[in-house]
Amino acid sequence: MVASPSGEGGEFSPGEVYNLSGSDESVLNILVGSTNQDWFGYAVAVVGDLNGDGLDDLLVGAPKDEAGKAFVFYGPFGTAPIVVTANNADMIFFSPHPQDYDFGEAVGPVSDS
């Protein structure tokens, strides 16, 4: 995974996260933020299997998307569609305190064991 929080178009674009092939570094998928200057991809974490399908899932932070958001994408990665937008995430988390900014600035896996 490689992230570009300011996106391909520079500071006025949504952020992007690129899923690259381990064998030849070709782009398998591109995850794209939902709004310009959202910093989508500022933080990225593989969070294990959240939905019980046996595949790892991905958590992507976008701390400048409104008060900040975190997006969950269920695996597998490397299959169609090639471009997936944040609006099509499997789960979206919002700040519990909308007046606090930068929710999603740091993300990581958690465990209940």
Over residues 30-60, the pLDDT tens digits come to 999 999 999 999 999 999 999 999 999 999 9
AA identity, residue 40: F
Query: Does the pLDDT of residue 7 top 70, yes or no?
Result: yes
Query: Does the pLDDT of residue 11 top 70, yes or no?
Result: no
Domain assignments of the chain as residue spans, ordered by start: 2-94
Mean pLDDT, rounded, for 18-26? 89
Residue predicted with more confidence, 74 or 21: 74
Residues 6+ apart with CB under 8 A from 55: 49, 74, 75, 76
Query: Does the pLDDT of residue 112 top 90, yes or no?
Result: no
Query: Does the pLDDT of residue 25 top 90, yes or no?
Result: no
The burial class, CB within 10 Å (0-12 / 13-18 / 19+), for 28 is: middle
Q: Answer yes or no: are the C-beta atoms of 17 and 30 closer than 8 Å.
A: yes
> Which of the four pLDDT bands, split at 50, 70 and 90, describes residue 68?
very high
Confidence (pLDDT) at 8: 73
pLDDT tens-digit series, residues 72-103: 999 988 776 789 999 999 999 998 887 778 99
